[in-house]
Amino acid sequence: MAKTEIGTVVRFYKTSPLLAIFHLMPHNGSRFPDYKAGQYIALRRNDCRLTKKIIAPDKKVTYLPNLDENGNQKKGPVTHSYSIASAPFETSQNAYLEFYVILEKDEKGEPGRLTESMFRMDPQGDNQLVYFDRITGDFTLEKRAPGFKNVLLVGTGTGVAPFVSMIKQLHFEASQGKDQGVKYTLVHANRTYEELDYYKELSAMEADERFDFVYLSSVSRPTPRDHSDLTMGKGRANNLLRHIFDMPLKEEQDLRDAAGEGDVAKAKAALERTVRPVLPERFSRKELQERIEPAHSVIMTCGNPFVMADIKTIADAVHIRFEKEDW
């Protein structure tokens, strides 16, 4: 088992009340293990508010505060693995690892044990974070996309982190004269423009044209500001793909399925709430179809599990190789 070290958080920036980007420096001037873009590392905080798992007679699972004899919630260590958002060349040059995290909340609105503690971190005070001195995972271009001419990356929410690492590394390597002639397309979706972190950085790398890279950003809860921005897509990532491949929206498909046997009223309501997919003005559906030629393409996705499941359905329907990040 990998040994643990205590790192120092030197930057912690909340991009919204629920999202944050932070930089972690290794223990006492040491260095992190070498890694590939797309890999992950286990992190731990030791002052997490602990909970206990309760299974009801109907098998429903809930988590309640784990209290001590005085009625105070116990605190202790919680560990979770996180994809690395920095590129390997950045860590080699600057020593830090970058992470993109969300403050998780359960159905009652209670924050997640580890992320609640993380969001209390402060580079000027409470700045220590335990990490396991081992970086691992096979969600890399070398493992999941070898030999493909077209690589479609789909990241939702903080699931864009491994793809940020990949694109930054590819951009750097292209500047060094390394280009394997592969077409990379990144579909990056979040709820709002304000939550679309890395948007400016990814847009700038696309504009550089150092390698064949297309960046398709989208928001699933567009505001009037977003509707007037023709450079940005609208709709969830899976419905954008369905639109590109001339497939019915997920909610349209659900309504058809419900007509046979299901809750038609619920399916109709879901369809009425759905944001219809709109591509950024600079892309046509035909151009993207030609770019993502199924026989020579692979889809790699990370993020919302329900969206990833539907992307698998899309990939199967159009006969594209499908790969997802799985913990």
How far CA 133 is from CA of 12, 91, 143, in Å, comes to 21, 14, 22
Helix (H) or strand (E) holding 51: strand 51-55
Full pLDDT tens readout for the chain, 327 residues:
689 999 999 999 999 999 999 999 999 989 999 999 999 999 999 999 999 888 988 888 888 889 989 999 999 999 999 999 999 999 999 999 999 999 998 878 889 999 999 999 999 999 999 999 999 999 999 999 999 999 999 999 999 999 999 999 999 999 999 988 999 999 999 999 999 999 999 999 999 999 999 999 999 999 888 888 889 999 999 999 999 999 999 999 989 888 877 788 898 999 999 999 999 999 999 999 999 999 999 999 999 999 999 999 999 999 999 999 986
Residues paired with residue 100 on neighbouring β-strands, in sequence order: 21
Whether the Cβ atoms of residue 64 and residue 54 lie closer than 8 Å to each other: yes
Please report the domains of the chain, with CATH numbers, ordered by start residue. 4-136 (2.40.30.10), 141-324 (3.40.50.80)
Three-point CA angle 242, 245, 251, nearest 5°: 20
Whether the Cβ atoms of residue 167 and residue 45 lie closer than 8 Å to each other: no
CA atoms of 169 and 173, how far apart (whole Å): 6
pLDDT value at residue 228: 87
DSSP 275: P
